Amino acid sequence: MDSSQTKKRVVGVDVGMEITTYAVVDARGNILAQESFSTDAYPNVESYIAVLSDRIVTLVEANGGYESVRSVGVCCPSSNFLTGCIENSPNMPWKGVIPMAAMMRDRIGLAVALANNSQCIALGEQAFGVAHGMKDFVVITLGHGLGSCIFSNGKMHLGSKGFAGEIGHTCVVPGGRECSCGRQGCLEAYCSERGILRTARELMEERTEHSMMRQIEQLTPKIIFELCEMGDALAIETYRRTGEMLGRGLANYASILNPEAIVLTGGIPHAGHWLLDPVDKAFETHVFRNIKGQTKLLVSMLRDGERDVLGASVMAWMVKEYSLFL
Amino acid sequence: MDSSQTKKRVVGVDVGMEITTYAVVDARGNILAQESFSTDAYPNVESYIAVLSDRIVTLVEANGGYESVRSVGVCCPSSNFLTGCIENSPNMPWKGVIPMAAMMRDRIGLAVALANNSQCIALGEQAFGVAHGMKDFVVITLGHGLGSCIFSNGKMHLGSKGFAGEIGHTCVVPGGRECSCGRQGCLEAYCSERGILRTARELMEERTEHSMMRQIEQLTPKIIFELCEMGDALAIETYRRTGEMLGRGLANYASILNPEAIVLTGGIPHAGHWLLDPVDKAFETHVFRNIKGQTKLLVSMLRDGERDVLGASVMAWMVKEYSLFL
């Protein structure tokens, strides 16, 4: 018997900008033990990886033991699945190219796979979420940025160098807003936390009507959502414009990929119908006629606190399939 | 021994709008026998399929015999690989949904697979052309329309209903030119035979300078290319604008898919550097920084007269792999 068959558990890790969460997970997605610590307490990546690795070993030893664990999956922004490296993250505290998977593997002694949030969440949605059983779908992660992951013929489409899915950096408005990537009119410049705040500011300048948004010093997408619920017209218009732009972008995406479903996830889709109704409307208006009415727009149902860890655990099981780090 | 192992040949068919070509082809892409007839002599699709099928049987019997042939691959515009049907073609003489693969199979007695031109050419390029050995690439067919085919993890990405690859119907200019699909600003409205002619007309209206284009009653992309070669500034500007728009569209495509290469094929890429230099320049200007300098822009090297037949023959070998029509 292959020894991997006796290993019934994996470790899933979510490296967030502020909090790192790691858990022992079984093949059915049951989280058996979970712990967290502050990511930003470790500006030095070597120290961070040493602490994370040792904490994982301790958690594993207290929960079924080292011999019961098959591998480790790590979810981290700007990660490249093909290289196992965090590559030039604009948001994480560690700069440059960091061979995170290899460094963790060397310290823990288990195979380690690394992927970005959209990829991990897509794996989680396919295994346990709204994309269960689907072969061709995409996951859109709306939050700080705008990421995505494509599934084709049942497998992740990574592209030749692992950079596929950058719908956030496709141009939707030629000559439009400056994007953090240095170009103009990228979808992410409109449909992301920063994009929403910029739309709110533009609306407040463009219009003279009363809005509670004008009274708030530190606007956030969540506050704007709460103002929508209170009937604030400019807040509602902020999400309407965001949703319209997103629907147009997704229509292009669907024309190219013809997915069975587009799954929205991340913090922003929680704005609910204020965002989703305009997305739906713009999508159906702009999508190519051959696929009109064919694409399901879904919102992730995996819980906020476990979505990334769960996705990372699914990836851990797949280390062998993709022949990585063995 | 599986009987399919003794069948060393397939039939490739290219259903063009004017001419239909069919050939007996071996596994190395050698065309052993080839014939053609007029597609447009058969406005009735039942008659067309009867004639085509009987001609194929006759050609096969005269070249190795029925027992040496494994299957038939048919290349036809607006074909859906997953259903084996021609579906609502705007250009072919036969309207509605036509179960071409099943109709031919019933008459010939061999498995028949059907795909559109971009898909067949992509299969041909991967087997025998510039995409040989590549797993993640896209083929762009520039001609009457603008089609494409995506390869992901070594396999065709068809999408959930077989409609993937419609980059021609992604919006590049919000509120721009009307497209034949009923929407505005589609890439195909700029980058296709019709798009080029429209750009030429717009330029002639916009500018007052002399151009030989003004003297020609029935302009074609080929004539405009010849005028470029003669130094005609408006003709050169026509291809420059076309190439710039195409480069921008392909940059979006590459940001999403991160292909190893983009292969240009169809009639228009023969405009050579007049088109390709502006495509290259716009592509590198607009592509997402993470994949800058990574994507090869290639032009098909398979010969015009055999590209589609050869691709159709590659598809014939794959009937089993995709579990179709067996």
pLDDT at B271: 81
Chain B residue with CA closest to A250: the answer is B170
Mean pLDDT for chain B? 93
Q: Is B260 on the interface with A (CB under 8 A)?
A: yes
> Taking 90 as the threshold, does the pLDDT of residue B133 lie above it?
yes
pLDDT at B267: 82
Q: Write the CA distances from B82 to A28, A265, B79, B89, B137, integer angstroms.
A: 32, 30, 9, 16, 20
Q: Is A273 on the interface with B (CB under 8 A)?
A: no
Q: Do A158 and B251 touch (CB under 8 A)?
A: no
Pick among B258, B292, B318, B323 to test the A interface (most A CBs inside 10 A): B258
For A8-38, write each residue's pLDDT tens digit: 999 999 999 999 999 999 999 999 999 999 9
Nearest to B118 by CA among B91, B144, B97, B83: B144
Q: Is B82 on the interface with A (CB under 8 A)?
A: no
Spell out which residues of chain A touch residue B288, defining contact as CB-CB under 8 Å. 163, 166, 169, 181, 183
Nearest to A87 by CA among A161, A12, A167: A161
Structure tokens at B240: 């420059």
Q: Write the CA distances from B10 to A48, A318, B73, B290, integer angstroms.
A: 59, 37, 8, 42
B160: left (phi over 0), alpha (psi -120 to 50) or beta: alpha
Which of 229-248 (A) contact B at CB < 8 A? 248
| A–B interface: beta-carbon pairs under 8 A | 145
pLDDT at B268: 82
Query: Residue A15 belongs to what H/E stretch?
Result: strand A9-15
d(CA B309, CA B5) in angstroms, rounded, equals: 22
d(CA B206, CA A247) in angstroms, rounded, equals: 34
Structure tokens at B138: 């896209």
pLDDT at B70: 93
Q: Is A161 on the interface with B (CB under 8 A)?
A: yes
- pLDDT digit string (tens) for chain A, length 326 residues: 455 557 899 999 999 999 999 999 999 999 999 999 999 999 999 999 999 999 999 999 999 998 999 999 999 999 999 999 999 888 888 989 999 999 999 999 999 999 999 999 999 999 999 999 999 999 999 998 999 999 999 999 999 999 999 999 999 999 999 998 999 999 999 999 999 999 999 999 999 999 999 999 999 999 999 999 999 999 999 999 999 999 999 999 999 999 999 999 988 877 899 999 999 999 999 999 888 899 999 999 888 888 999 999 999 998 765 555 44
Q: Which CATH superfamily is domain A130-299 in?
A: ATPase, nucleotide binding domain (3.30.420.40)
Banded model confidence at residue B321, pLDDT cuts 50, 70, 90: low
Q: Exposure pattern of B295-313 as b/e (b: 16+ CB <10 Å)?
A: bebbebebeeebbbbbbbb
Mean pLDDT score, B231-249: 97
> Taking 60 as the threshold, does the pLDDT of residue B2 lie above it?
no
Q: Do A171 and B252 touch (CB under 8 A)?
A: yes
For B76-107, write each residue's pLDDT tens digit: 999 999 999 999 888 888 989 999 999 999 99
For B174-223, write each residue's pLDDT tens digit: 999 999 889 999 999 999 999 999 999 999 999 999 999 999 999 999 99
Pick among A138, A146, A149, A160 to test the B interface (most B CBs inside 10 A): A160
> What is the reported pTM?
0.93
Q: Identify the bridge partners of residue A97 per DSSP, sorted by sequence position.
A: A87
Domains A3-122+305-317 and A130-299 alike in fold? yes
Q: Is A182 on the interface with B (CB under 8 A)?
A: yes
Smallest Cβ–Cβ distance between B163 and the set A134, A251, A291 belongs to A291
Q: Do A174 and B290 touch (CB under 8 A)?
A: no
d(CA A248, CA A242) in angstroms, rounded, equals: 10
User: Closest Cα of chain B to A189: distance in Å?
Assistant: 14
**Residue ranges covered by each domain of chain A:** 3-122+305-317, 130-299
For B44-69, write each residue's pLDDT tens digit: 999 999 999 999 999 999 999 989 99
pLDDT at A1: 44
Smallest Cβ–Cβ distance between A259 and the set B160, B174, B286 belongs to B160
> Taking 60 as the threshold, does the pLDDT of residue B323 lie above it?
no
pLDDT at A91: 80
pLDDT at B1: 44
Mean pLDDT score, B136-149: 95
Q: Do A157 and B136 touch (CB under 8 A)?
A: yes
pLDDT at B79: 95
Pick among A257, A262, A294 to test the B interface (most B CBs inside 10 A): A257
Spell out which residues of chain A touch residue B152, defining contact as CB-CB under 8 Å. 150, 152-153, 155, 157
Q: Do B158 and A183 touch (CB under 8 A)?
A: no
Smallest Cβ–Cβ distance between B161 and the set A134, A158, A294 belongs to A294
Q: Which CATH number fits domain B3-122+305-317: 3.40.50.720, 3.30.70.2190, 3.30.420.40, 3.40.640.10?
A: 3.30.420.40
Banded model confidence at residue B119, pLDDT cuts 50, 70, 90: very high
Q: Do B170 and A256 touch (CB under 8 A)?
A: yes
Smallest Cβ–Cβ distance between A288 and the set B152, B166, B252 belongs to B166
Q: Do B259 and A155 touch (CB under 8 A)?
A: no
User: Closest Cα of chain A to B41: distance in Å?
Assistant: 29
* Residue predicted with more confidence, A2 or B259: B259
Smallest Cβ–Cβ distance between B258 and the set A159, A170, A173 belongs to A159
ipTM of this predicted structure: 0.92
Smallest Cβ–Cβ distance between A164 and the set B134, B137, B257 belongs to B257
Q: Is B155 on the interface with A (CB under 8 A)?
A: yes
Q: Helices A307-317 and A117-128 sit at what angle, rounded to 10 degrees?
A: 80
Q: Is A164 on the interface with B (CB under 8 A)?
A: yes
Spell out which residues of chain A touch residue B87, defining contact as CB-CB under 8 Å. 290
Q: What is the CATH number of domain B132-299?
A: 3.30.420.40
Chain B residue with CA closest to A167: the answer is B256
Structure tokens at A122: 């897509």
User: Closest Cα of chain B to A36: distance in Å?
Assistant: 31
Q: Is A5 on the interface with B (CB under 8 A)?
A: no
